[in-house]
Amino acid sequence: MPAPGQEIILLRHCADARFVWNLGQEQRAMYRPGRGPTPGYYEQKRQLTEARAAEPWLAEGSVTVQQEALRDLDQAWKNFFNGTHRRPTWRKATDHNGFRIVGPQASRVEQVNRRWSQVLVPKVGWVRFRRSRPVPDAKSYRVTRDRAGRWHIAFATIPEPVPGPHTGEVVGVDRGVTVSAALSTGELLTCPQLRVTEQARLLRLERKSARQRIRGRKPSGRLKRTYTAIAKLKAREADIRKDWAEKTSTDLARRFDVIRIEDLQICNMTRSASGTLAEPGRNVRQKAGLNRGILASGWGLLARRLEHKAGERVQKVRPAYTSMTCNACGHCETRNRKSQAFLCLACGHRDHADINAAKNIAAGHAVTARGGRGKLSRPVNREPLVAA
Protein backbone atom coordinates (compact mmCIF):
# COMPACT_ATOMS: atom_id res chain seq x y z
CA MET A 1 0.00 0.00 0.00
CA PRO A 2 2.04 2.99 -1.20
CA ALA A 3 1.70 6.40 0.35
CA PRO A 4 0.10 9.19 -1.75
CA GLY A 5 3.50 10.71 -2.60
CA GLN A 6 4.93 7.29 -3.45
CA GLU A 7 1.98 6.48 -5.69
CA ILE A 8 2.84 9.43 -7.96
CA ILE A 9 6.38 8.10 -8.50
CA LEU A 10 5.08 4.56 -9.04
CA LEU A 11 2.72 5.84 -11.71
CA ARG A 12 5.70 7.62 -13.30
CA HIS A 13 7.58 4.32 -13.37
CA CYS A 14 4.58 2.67 -15.05
CA ALA A 15 4.44 5.47 -17.64
CA ASP A 16 8.19 5.20 -18.35
CA ALA A 17 7.99 1.44 -18.78
CA ARG A 18 5.00 1.81 -21.11
CA PHE A 19 6.73 4.57 -23.13
CA VAL A 20 9.94 2.59 -23.60
CA TRP A 21 8.01 -0.57 -24.44
CA ASN A 22 6.03 1.22 -27.15
CA LEU A 23 9.18 2.77 -28.65
CA GLY A 24 10.84 -0.64 -28.84
CA GLN A 25 7.64 -2.19 -30.18
CA GLU A 26 7.51 0.44 -32.93
CA GLN A 27 11.01 -0.52 -34.05
CA ARG A 28 10.17 -4.21 -34.02
CA ALA A 29 6.84 -3.78 -35.81
CA MET A 30 8.43 -1.76 -38.63
CA TYR A 31 10.32 -4.81 -39.89
CA ARG A 32 9.65 -5.78 -43.49
CA PRO A 33 11.39 -8.47 -45.54
CA GLY A 34 14.47 -7.08 -47.28
CA ARG A 35 15.01 -4.17 -44.87
CA GLY A 36 17.50 -5.92 -42.64
CA PRO A 37 17.14 -7.08 -39.04
CA THR A 38 15.42 -5.02 -36.39
CA PRO A 39 17.45 -3.87 -33.38
CA GLY A 40 17.64 -6.39 -30.56
CA TYR A 41 17.74 -5.86 -26.83
CA TYR A 42 21.37 -4.74 -26.58
CA GLU A 43 21.05 -2.30 -29.49
CA GLN A 44 17.87 -0.83 -28.03
CA LYS A 45 19.58 -0.61 -24.65
CA ARG A 46 22.38 1.43 -26.23
CA GLN A 47 19.84 3.69 -27.92
CA LEU A 48 18.11 4.14 -24.56
CA THR A 49 21.37 5.40 -23.06
CA GLU A 50 21.68 7.98 -25.84
CA ALA A 51 18.04 9.01 -25.40
CA ARG A 52 18.49 9.50 -21.66
CA ALA A 53 21.50 11.73 -22.32
CA ALA A 54 19.53 13.83 -24.83
CA GLU A 55 16.21 14.04 -22.95
CA PRO A 56 16.43 15.22 -19.30
CA TRP A 57 12.82 14.20 -18.55
CA LEU A 58 13.63 10.63 -19.55
CA ALA A 59 16.80 10.64 -17.45
CA GLU A 60 14.74 11.59 -14.39
CA GLY A 61 13.14 8.15 -14.46
CA SER A 62 14.68 4.93 -13.21
CA VAL A 63 17.11 3.35 -15.66
CA THR A 64 16.36 -0.07 -14.18
CA VAL A 65 12.66 0.27 -14.95
CA GLN A 66 13.31 1.38 -18.52
CA GLN A 67 15.91 -1.29 -19.28
CA GLU A 68 13.72 -4.06 -17.88
CA ALA A 69 10.86 -2.87 -20.09
CA LEU A 70 13.10 -3.48 -23.12
CA ARG A 71 14.11 -6.86 -21.71
CA ASP A 72 10.46 -7.82 -21.26
CA LEU A 73 9.75 -6.77 -24.84
CA ASP A 74 12.64 -8.87 -26.14
CA GLN A 75 11.39 -11.90 -24.20
CA ALA A 76 7.86 -11.33 -25.49
CA TRP A 77 9.08 -11.45 -29.09
CA LYS A 78 11.12 -14.59 -28.38
CA ASN A 79 8.02 -16.26 -26.96
CA PHE A 80 6.07 -15.22 -30.06
CA PHE A 81 8.63 -16.70 -32.44
CA ASN A 82 8.78 -19.88 -30.36
CA GLY A 83 5.02 -20.26 -30.79
CA THR A 84 4.15 -20.19 -27.08
CA HIS A 85 2.57 -16.73 -26.88
CA ARG A 86 0.72 -14.25 -29.05
CA ARG A 87 2.30 -11.39 -30.94
CA PRO A 88 3.28 -8.49 -28.62
CA THR A 89 1.11 -5.39 -28.90
CA TRP A 90 1.34 -1.77 -27.83
CA ARG A 91 0.59 -0.91 -24.22
CA LYS A 92 -2.16 1.51 -23.25
CA ALA A 93 -2.48 3.85 -20.32
CA THR A 94 -5.64 2.06 -19.18
CA ASP A 95 -3.97 -1.37 -19.28
CA HIS A 96 -0.58 -2.94 -18.59
CA ASN A 97 0.33 -0.56 -15.80
CA GLY A 98 3.39 -2.08 -14.19
CA PHE A 99 7.17 -2.40 -14.15
CA ARG A 100 9.82 -4.90 -13.11
CA ILE A 101 12.85 -4.55 -10.85
CA VAL A 102 15.86 -6.88 -11.16
CA GLY A 103 19.12 -7.01 -9.27
CA PRO A 104 20.27 -6.49 -5.71
CA GLN A 105 17.40 -4.07 -5.10
CA ALA A 106 14.92 -6.91 -5.55
CA SER A 107 16.28 -8.68 -2.45
CA ARG A 108 15.84 -5.61 -0.21
CA VAL A 109 12.76 -6.85 1.61
CA GLU A 110 12.10 -6.36 5.32
CA GLN A 111 9.33 -7.69 7.53
CA VAL A 112 7.48 -4.98 9.48
CA ASN A 113 5.08 -7.10 11.52
CA ARG A 114 3.05 -10.28 11.29
CA ARG A 115 1.14 -9.22 8.14
CA TRP A 116 3.12 -6.42 6.56
CA SER A 117 6.52 -6.14 4.91
CA GLN A 118 8.29 -3.43 2.94
CA VAL A 119 10.39 -3.47 -0.22
CA LEU A 120 12.87 -0.95 -1.58
CA VAL A 121 11.76 0.51 -4.92
CA PRO A 122 14.20 2.71 -6.91
CA LYS A 123 13.49 6.46 -6.54
CA VAL A 124 10.52 5.65 -4.32
CA GLY A 125 12.01 4.29 -1.13
CA TRP A 126 10.52 1.71 1.19
CA VAL A 127 6.98 0.71 0.13
CA ARG A 128 4.83 -1.36 2.45
CA PHE A 129 2.80 -4.32 1.19
CA ARG A 130 0.63 -6.94 2.81
CA ARG A 131 1.88 -10.50 2.55
CA SER A 132 -0.56 -13.03 1.14
CA ARG A 133 2.10 -15.76 1.48
CA PRO A 134 5.72 -16.04 2.65
CA VAL A 135 8.08 -13.86 0.62
CA PRO A 136 10.47 -16.07 -1.38
CA ASP A 137 14.14 -15.45 -2.06
CA ALA A 138 13.59 -13.96 -5.52
CA LYS A 139 15.92 -12.07 -7.86
CA SER A 140 13.21 -9.84 -9.31
CA TYR A 141 9.73 -8.57 -8.61
CA ARG A 142 6.98 -6.88 -10.58
CA VAL A 143 4.75 -4.05 -9.41
CA THR A 144 1.39 -3.69 -11.18
CA ARG A 145 -1.72 -1.56 -10.87
CA ASP A 146 -5.04 -3.00 -12.03
CA ARG A 147 -8.03 -1.13 -13.44
CA ALA A 148 -9.61 -0.91 -10.01
CA GLY A 149 -6.64 1.15 -8.78
CA ARG A 150 -5.16 -1.61 -6.62
CA TRP A 151 -1.40 -2.11 -6.42
CA HIS A 152 0.13 -5.59 -6.44
CA ILE A 153 3.67 -6.89 -6.05
CA ALA A 154 4.72 -10.33 -7.31
CA PHE A 155 8.12 -11.89 -6.62
CA ALA A 156 9.45 -14.03 -9.47
CA THR A 157 10.00 -17.58 -8.28
CA ILE A 158 9.02 -21.06 -9.41
CA PRO A 159 7.08 -22.80 -6.62
CA GLU A 160 7.54 -26.47 -5.90
CA PRO A 161 4.86 -28.75 -7.41
CA VAL A 162 2.18 -30.14 -5.13
CA PRO A 163 3.10 -33.74 -4.16
CA GLY A 164 0.60 -36.45 -5.02
CA PRO A 165 -0.79 -39.07 -2.61
CA HIS A 166 1.02 -41.95 -4.42
CA THR A 167 -2.11 -44.11 -4.36
CA GLY A 168 -2.43 -44.49 -8.13
CA GLU A 169 -5.93 -42.99 -8.12
CA VAL A 170 -7.11 -41.41 -11.40
CA VAL A 171 -9.75 -38.71 -11.74
CA GLY A 172 -11.47 -37.23 -14.76
CA VAL A 173 -12.56 -33.59 -14.83
CA ASP A 174 -15.37 -32.47 -17.14
CA ARG A 175 -15.70 -28.70 -17.43
CA GLY A 176 -19.07 -27.15 -18.17
CA VAL A 177 -21.17 -24.02 -17.84
CA THR A 178 -23.94 -25.18 -15.51
CA VAL A 179 -21.42 -27.20 -13.48
CA SER A 180 -17.96 -25.66 -13.67
CA ALA A 181 -16.13 -28.93 -12.94
CA ALA A 182 -17.60 -32.41 -12.58
CA LEU A 183 -15.34 -35.15 -11.21
CA SER A 184 -15.51 -38.83 -12.05
CA THR A 185 -15.88 -39.46 -8.30
CA GLY A 186 -19.36 -37.90 -8.44
CA GLU A 187 -18.48 -34.45 -7.10
CA LEU A 188 -19.98 -31.36 -8.73
CA LEU A 189 -17.97 -28.15 -8.32
CA THR A 190 -19.33 -24.73 -9.25
CA CYS A 191 -17.28 -21.58 -9.56
CA PRO A 192 -18.87 -18.91 -7.32
CA GLN A 193 -20.08 -15.69 -8.89
CA LEU A 194 -20.93 -12.21 -7.66
CA ARG A 195 -23.87 -11.84 -5.34
CA VAL A 196 -27.24 -11.05 -6.89
CA THR A 197 -27.12 -7.48 -5.62
CA GLU A 198 -23.61 -7.01 -7.04
CA GLN A 199 -24.69 -8.40 -10.42
CA ALA A 200 -27.63 -6.00 -10.49
CA ARG A 201 -25.38 -3.07 -9.59
CA LEU A 202 -22.90 -4.07 -12.31
CA LEU A 203 -25.71 -4.13 -14.88
CA ARG A 204 -26.91 -0.67 -13.78
CA LEU A 205 -23.38 0.73 -14.03
CA GLU A 206 -22.85 -0.70 -17.50
CA ARG A 207 -26.12 0.83 -18.71
CA LYS A 208 -25.18 4.10 -17.06
CA SER A 209 -21.80 4.17 -18.82
CA ALA A 210 -23.53 3.57 -22.15
CA ARG A 211 -25.70 6.66 -21.60
CA GLN A 212 -22.73 8.77 -20.48
CA ARG A 213 -20.50 7.85 -23.40
CA ILE A 214 -20.11 10.62 -25.98
CA ARG A 215 -18.52 9.76 -29.28
CA GLY A 216 -15.62 11.86 -30.45
CA ARG A 217 -14.87 13.28 -27.00
CA LYS A 218 -12.71 12.28 -24.10
CA PRO A 219 -14.44 10.55 -21.15
CA SER A 220 -15.78 13.01 -18.61
CA GLY A 221 -14.98 12.83 -14.92
CA ARG A 222 -18.39 11.33 -14.26
CA LEU A 223 -17.83 8.61 -16.86
CA LYS A 224 -14.39 7.84 -15.43
CA ARG A 225 -15.91 7.33 -12.00
CA THR A 226 -18.45 4.96 -13.52
CA TYR A 227 -15.67 3.02 -15.24
CA THR A 228 -13.80 2.78 -11.93
CA ALA A 229 -16.87 1.39 -10.16
CA ILE A 230 -17.30 -1.19 -12.94
CA ALA A 231 -13.63 -2.13 -12.72
CA LYS A 232 -13.89 -2.74 -8.98
CA LEU A 233 -16.78 -5.16 -9.44
CA LYS A 234 -14.98 -6.88 -12.32
CA ALA A 235 -11.85 -7.18 -10.18
CA ARG A 236 -13.85 -8.72 -7.35
CA GLU A 237 -15.38 -11.20 -9.78
CA ALA A 238 -11.94 -12.16 -11.09
CA ASP A 239 -10.60 -12.54 -7.55
CA ILE A 240 -13.45 -14.90 -6.65
CA ARG A 241 -12.81 -16.98 -9.78
CA LYS A 242 -9.06 -17.11 -9.15
CA ASP A 243 -9.53 -18.09 -5.51
CA TRP A 244 -11.82 -20.96 -6.53
CA ALA A 245 -9.39 -22.17 -9.21
CA GLU A 246 -6.45 -22.08 -6.78
CA LYS A 247 -8.25 -24.04 -4.07
CA THR A 248 -9.75 -26.56 -6.50
CA SER A 249 -6.48 -27.22 -8.34
CA THR A 250 -4.55 -27.66 -5.08
CA ASP A 251 -7.18 -30.07 -3.75
CA LEU A 252 -7.11 -32.18 -6.93
CA ALA A 253 -3.31 -32.24 -7.05
CA ARG A 254 -3.15 -33.50 -3.46
CA ARG A 255 -5.89 -36.14 -3.75
CA PHE A 256 -5.12 -37.80 -7.10
CA ASP A 257 -2.00 -39.08 -8.80
CA VAL A 258 -3.34 -38.74 -12.37
CA ILE A 259 -5.68 -35.93 -13.41
CA ARG A 260 -7.28 -36.18 -16.84
CA ILE A 261 -8.98 -33.18 -18.44
CA GLU A 262 -10.40 -32.42 -21.86
CA ASP A 263 -8.08 -30.85 -24.41
CA LEU A 264 -10.34 -27.88 -25.14
CA GLN A 265 -9.48 -25.01 -27.48
CA ILE A 266 -11.10 -22.32 -25.33
CA CYS A 267 -10.01 -19.41 -27.54
CA ASN A 268 -11.77 -20.97 -30.52
CA MET A 269 -14.82 -21.91 -28.46
CA THR A 270 -15.32 -18.35 -27.19
CA ARG A 271 -14.70 -16.64 -30.52
CA SER A 272 -17.35 -14.11 -31.53
CA ALA A 273 -20.09 -15.28 -33.88
CA SER A 274 -21.21 -11.81 -35.02
CA GLY A 275 -19.85 -12.34 -38.53
CA THR A 276 -19.63 -9.51 -41.07
CA LEU A 277 -22.05 -7.13 -42.74
CA ALA A 278 -22.10 -9.31 -45.83
CA GLU A 279 -22.46 -12.57 -43.89
CA PRO A 280 -23.91 -11.82 -40.43
CA GLY A 281 -23.82 -14.57 -37.84
CA ARG A 282 -26.79 -16.44 -36.43
CA ASN A 283 -27.88 -16.68 -32.78
CA VAL A 284 -25.31 -14.03 -31.89
CA ARG A 285 -26.89 -13.13 -28.55
CA GLN A 286 -27.08 -16.77 -27.49
CA LYS A 287 -23.47 -17.34 -28.50
CA ALA A 288 -22.36 -14.25 -26.59
CA GLY A 289 -24.13 -15.54 -23.48
CA LEU A 290 -22.44 -18.93 -23.88
CA ASN A 291 -19.06 -17.24 -24.21
CA ARG A 292 -19.63 -15.30 -21.00
CA GLY A 293 -20.63 -18.48 -19.21
CA ILE A 294 -17.50 -20.32 -20.38
CA LEU A 295 -15.18 -17.50 -19.35
CA ALA A 296 -16.95 -17.06 -15.99
CA SER A 297 -16.42 -20.76 -15.19
CA GLY A 298 -12.64 -20.40 -15.27
CA TRP A 299 -11.93 -23.34 -17.60
CA GLY A 300 -8.56 -22.14 -18.79
CA LEU A 301 -7.40 -20.90 -15.37
CA LEU A 302 -8.22 -24.23 -13.72
CA ALA A 303 -6.35 -26.20 -16.40
CA ARG A 304 -3.27 -23.94 -16.20
CA ARG A 305 -3.07 -24.13 -12.44
CA LEU A 306 -3.42 -27.91 -12.55
CA GLU A 307 -0.51 -28.10 -14.98
CA HIS A 308 1.56 -25.81 -12.77
CA LYS A 309 0.90 -27.77 -9.58
CA ALA A 310 0.65 -31.36 -10.82
CA GLY A 311 3.00 -31.14 -13.82
CA GLU A 312 3.23 -34.38 -15.79
CA ARG A 313 0.46 -35.94 -13.73
CA VAL A 314 -2.04 -33.92 -15.79
CA GLN A 315 -3.11 -35.67 -18.99
CA LYS A 316 -5.25 -34.19 -21.74
CA VAL A 317 -7.90 -36.35 -23.41
CA ARG A 318 -9.61 -35.79 -26.75
CA PRO A 319 -13.03 -34.35 -25.84
CA ALA A 320 -14.98 -35.71 -28.83
CA TYR A 321 -18.26 -37.42 -27.84
CA THR A 322 -17.34 -37.89 -24.19
CA SER A 323 -20.69 -36.38 -23.16
CA MET A 324 -22.75 -38.67 -25.42
CA THR A 325 -20.98 -41.98 -24.68
CA CYS A 326 -22.34 -44.33 -22.03
CA ASN A 327 -19.65 -45.13 -19.52
CA ALA A 328 -21.30 -48.47 -18.65
CA CYS A 329 -21.69 -50.08 -22.09
CA GLY A 330 -19.87 -47.73 -24.46
CA HIS A 331 -22.93 -46.95 -26.61
CA CYS A 332 -22.61 -43.49 -28.15
CA GLU A 333 -25.58 -41.61 -29.49
CA THR A 334 -26.67 -37.97 -29.53
CA ARG A 335 -30.03 -38.81 -27.91
CA ASN A 336 -28.36 -40.31 -24.84
CA ARG A 337 -27.97 -36.90 -23.27
CA LYS A 338 -30.78 -34.49 -22.53
CA SER A 339 -29.57 -31.37 -20.76
CA GLN A 340 -27.96 -32.42 -17.44
CA ALA A 341 -29.51 -35.93 -17.47
CA PHE A 342 -27.95 -38.96 -19.16
CA LEU A 343 -29.97 -42.02 -20.14
CA CYS A 344 -28.37 -44.69 -22.30
CA LEU A 345 -30.83 -45.94 -24.93
CA ALA A 346 -28.94 -49.23 -25.20
CA CYS A 347 -28.51 -50.43 -21.60
CA GLY A 348 -30.68 -47.98 -19.65
CA HIS A 349 -27.80 -46.61 -17.57
CA ARG A 350 -28.73 -43.36 -15.78
CA ASP A 351 -26.31 -40.77 -14.46
CA HIS A 352 -25.60 -37.08 -14.30
CA ALA A 353 -24.47 -36.04 -17.78
CA ASP A 354 -21.34 -34.25 -16.61
CA ILE A 355 -20.34 -37.05 -14.21
CA ASN A 356 -20.77 -39.61 -16.99
CA ALA A 357 -18.53 -37.50 -19.23
CA ALA A 358 -15.97 -37.19 -16.42
CA LYS A 359 -15.88 -40.98 -16.08
CA ASN A 360 -15.18 -41.30 -19.82
CA ILE A 361 -12.40 -38.74 -19.48
CA ALA A 362 -10.93 -40.63 -16.52
CA ALA A 363 -10.91 -43.82 -18.60
CA GLY A 364 -9.12 -42.03 -21.45
CA HIS A 365 -11.89 -42.80 -23.94
CA ALA A 366 -11.93 -41.15 -27.37
CA VAL A 367 -14.21 -41.77 -30.34
CA THR A 368 -12.56 -41.78 -33.76
CA ALA A 369 -15.37 -42.58 -36.22
CA ARG A 370 -19.07 -41.79 -36.70
CA GLY A 371 -21.88 -44.24 -37.23
CA GLY A 372 -24.97 -43.78 -39.34
CA ARG A 373 -27.97 -41.48 -38.70
CA GLY A 374 -26.68 -39.83 -35.51
CA LYS A 375 -25.30 -43.05 -34.00
CA LEU A 376 -21.61 -43.10 -33.14
CA SER A 377 -19.12 -45.91 -32.97
CA ARG A 378 -17.94 -47.51 -29.74
CA PRO A 379 -15.24 -45.50 -27.91
CA VAL A 380 -11.68 -46.68 -28.13
CA ASN A 381 -9.47 -46.76 -25.04
CA ARG A 382 -6.48 -44.53 -25.81
CA GLU A 383 -4.52 -45.36 -22.67
CA PRO A 384 -0.87 -46.25 -23.40
CA LEU A 385 0.02 -49.92 -23.07
CA VAL A 386 2.26 -50.74 -20.13
CA ALA A 387 4.51 -53.75 -20.36
CA ALA A 388 3.98 -56.27 -17.61
The angle, 0 to 180 degrees and rounded to 10, between the axes of the packed helices 221-255 and 299-310 is 40
Q: How far apart are the C-alpha atoms of 170 and 53, rounded to whole Å?
A: 61
* CA 34 vs CA 29, 80, 81, 104: distances in Å: 14, 21, 19, 42
Which member of 16, 174, 333, 351 is catalytic? 174
Question: Nearest Cα to 172, choosing from 18, 386, 354, 346?
Answer: 354
Residues whose CB is less than 8 angstroms from the CB of residue 363 and which lie 6 or more positions away in sequence, other chains included: 172, 327, 381, 383
Among this protein's residues, is 198 annotated catalytic?
no
φ/ψ of 35, rounded to 5, equals -95, 0
Residues whose CB is less than 8 angstroms from the CB of residue 211 and which lie 6 or more positions away in sequence, other chains included: none
Question: Nearest Cα to 256, choosing from 185, 318, 323?
Answer: 185
Among this protein's residues, is 354 annotated catalytic?
yes
Among this protein's residues, is 174 annotated catalytic?
yes
Question: Nearest Cα to 58, choosing from 23, 95, 106, 110?
Answer: 23
Which element (helix H / strand E) includes 241?
Answer: helix 221-255
Q: How far apart are the C-alpha atoms of 232 and 150, rounded to whole Å?
A: 9
Alpha-carbon torsion 349, 355, 357, 358, what sign?
negative
Which element (helix H / strand E) includes 67?
Answer: helix 63-82
Q: How far apart are the C-alpha atoms of 304 and 313, rounded to whole Å?
A: 13
Which member of 16, 68, 74, 262 is catalytic? 262
Q: Which residues are catalytic?
A: 174, 262, 354
